[in-house]
Chain A
């Protein structure tokens, strides 16, 4: 990890992350993203100062376990009001742009 990440973030990386993030960035936005992501990652690299080889990653602060419940419907039929929020709806369906040609 000797390399500064700012130098590692290439145009291809930004392109690839744009695909993962489902974002279409303009040329200007890509340049800005390259710069700010490089800066942030350089800063995050500070964590490498710490030896974490004996540390378990902590995703939750409490020793919680999966919470299970019976699969029972507890709310009413909200499909009408739910579909009212849809940018495109027909009968009781969401309308989406053409997916296959």
Chain B
């Protein structure tokens, strides 16, 4: 198959073509590497690419496919992995200077699950430093550009993963989502992205940011790919004590084109001030389309929406300040050379190794956990989190899915967000509460604005209800194809 034709396939279509002998894992990898050769200098989706290892691995996988040892849907399919997921023997930087030379001695469980399925690693994708940011501009290794329009950001923090999928520089990717870091870049780049229920995918080998909020998930070209990848990476892992033993992980079985009788709730509080009129229109048009397919759609008041961001930043910063204590210049990564004594070495290493946004959050987190402020800030936020979870519980008594936008706007221009962090934080308003409540959420492309930038539709489900999300997203995707969004 020629390259253009190969790259137009979804991950599942490619897997089928490889199994049918119409192409090979090596040919697929060559196609991806060719595309990288062509467009990576513009988009900068990756921090690290190991071409030789990728081709060699593809050849090994191809042999196993031919020998009948690998028969799954992802065998031979090139995958990109966010650079905060450990990959044995391959540089893992978290887009930070402090991990500029860190080569993990083991792979994240989600990465191992993909390897077992026969997916082949292309490289490690760019991200906001330690996943702290919404634009991929806080990366120490330079910004990633949005393949839909390189003057705009790809979103973040999994911006490299979303951009790599959109640019054809991989067939699918893994990201991590602490406050919207999979769904928002998926929305900005016009791909599908899903954050599963907390505990569904093992966090073993994911460099921790906000451990109670972090979850790994897929970024893909289609809803079908999303379901198949999630099925491959979901597993109960004794190495992650928050991992959940689920038996309902046959997500591809939920790819049903039918929403008759499914109940969708549209939170009025997601459609207020700050929402771009074009985003609003695209999302409401998607709701109409689902209604036309037999869904029951109505509006309701979710409540507490304006409290999600302050709650999130308190909890995430607190957990980050604790999680990032391990970067001290002793066991791995960068070490400042000009320090006198151990304590000064810690301080200099961290001050030189971390970027401004990471320092900002570590400082805030240290403050809200400090004695005298712990109750007023950290404990208060944990209480509001409980209230937010309850508000969702009430909503899911009435609805199968909550439907709304992923982000208030389409992708901003490069350089517009970092000057005003508060404004950047407000952009997370529709995604962040999903993490606080541990819920699954999916972003599906639902059209473009007048500048040609993609808009994402967000569907939120109750805990463990990924199948409802997949079914609804699949139905939307299939029926909107006819009308050509």
Residue with the highest number of chain B CB atoms closer than 10 Å, among A21, A44, A96: A21
Known: A23-B359, A44-B310, A47-B384. A87 touches B347 (CB 8 A): no
Contact A44–B332 (Cβ < 8 Å):
no
Shortest beta-carbon distance, B123 to chain A, in Å? 20
Contact B351–A24 (Cβ < 8 Å):
yes
A79 to B356, CA, bound (A): 33
Known: A50-B387, A94-B330. A22 touches B350 (CB 8 A): yes
Say whether B64 faces chain A, with CB atoms less than 8 Å apart: no
Known: A22-B328, A47-B307. A58 touches B386 (CB 8 A): yes
Contact B366–A57 (Cβ < 8 Å):
no
Residues 233-254 of B, flagged 1 when their CB comes within 8 A of A and 0 if not, give 0000010011010000000000
Binds A, one of B13-21, B126-134, B153-161, B375-383: B375-383
A22 to B343, CA, bound (A): 9
Shortest beta-carbon distance, A93 to chain B, in Å? 11
Contact A22–B364 (Cβ < 8 Å):
no
Say whether B103 faces chain A, with CB atoms less than 8 Å apart: yes
**For residue A79, which residue of chain B has the nearest CB?**
B105
Contact A52–B383 (Cβ < 8 Å):
yes
Residue with the highest number of chain B CB atoms closer than 10 Å, among A32, A37, A52, A82: A52
Q: How large is the interface on A (under 10, 10 to 19, 20 to 34, 35 or more residues)?
A: 35 or more
A85 to B314, CA, bound (A): 32
Which residues of chain A are near B366, meaning CB under 8 Å? Answer: 17, 20-21
Residue with the highest number of chain B CB atoms closer than 10 Å, among A22, A32, A33: A22
Which residues of chain B are near A84, meaning CB under 8 Å? Answer: 103
A47 to B383, CA, bound (A): 10
Known: A22-B346, A58-B383, A85-B332. A33 touches B363 (CB 8 A): yes
Contact A82–B105 (Cβ < 8 Å):
yes
Known: A33-B360, A44-B310, A57-B386. A1 touches B332 (CB 8 A): no
Shortest beta-carbon distance, A63 to chain B, in Å? 12
Shortest beta-carbon distance, A52 to chain B, in Å? 4
Contact A40–B389 (Cβ < 8 Å):
no
A78 to B86, CA, bound (A): 15
Say whether A73 faces chain B, with CB atoms less than 8 Å apart: no
Which residues of chain A are near B199, meaning CB under 8 Å? Answer: 62
Known: A21-B366, A61-B463. A29 touches B331 (CB 8 A): no
Contact A17–B370 (Cβ < 8 Å):
yes
Which residues of chain A are near B377, meaning CB under 8 Å? Answer: 41, 44
A66 to B241, CA, bound (A): 8
A69 to B389, CA, bound (A): 30
Contact A55–B364 (Cβ < 8 Å):
no
A40 to B373, CA, bound (A): 14
Can you show 24 pairs from A to B with CB atoms below 8 A apart? A17-B363, A20-B366, A21-B359, A21-B362, A21-B363, A24-B347, A24-B348, A32-B356, A33-B363, A40-B422, A41-B367, A44-B314, A44-B377, A46-B306, A49-B307, A50-B387, A58-B383, A59-B212, A59-B382, A62-B199, A75-B106, A81-B105, A82-B331, A87-B329
- Chain B contact residues, CB within 8 Å of chain A: 101-103, 105-106, 198-199, 212, 238, 241-242, 244, 304, 306-307, 309-311, 313-314, 321, 325, 328-335, 339-342, 344-348, 350-351, 354, 356, 359-360, 362-368, 370, 376-377, 379-387, 389, 421-422, 437-438, 463
Known: A43-B422, A62-B244, A97-B339. 11 other contacts (CB 8 A): A22-B350, A23-B347, A23-B351, A37-B364, A44-B313, A52-B384, A59-B212, A60-B212, A78-B105, A85-B101, A85-B105
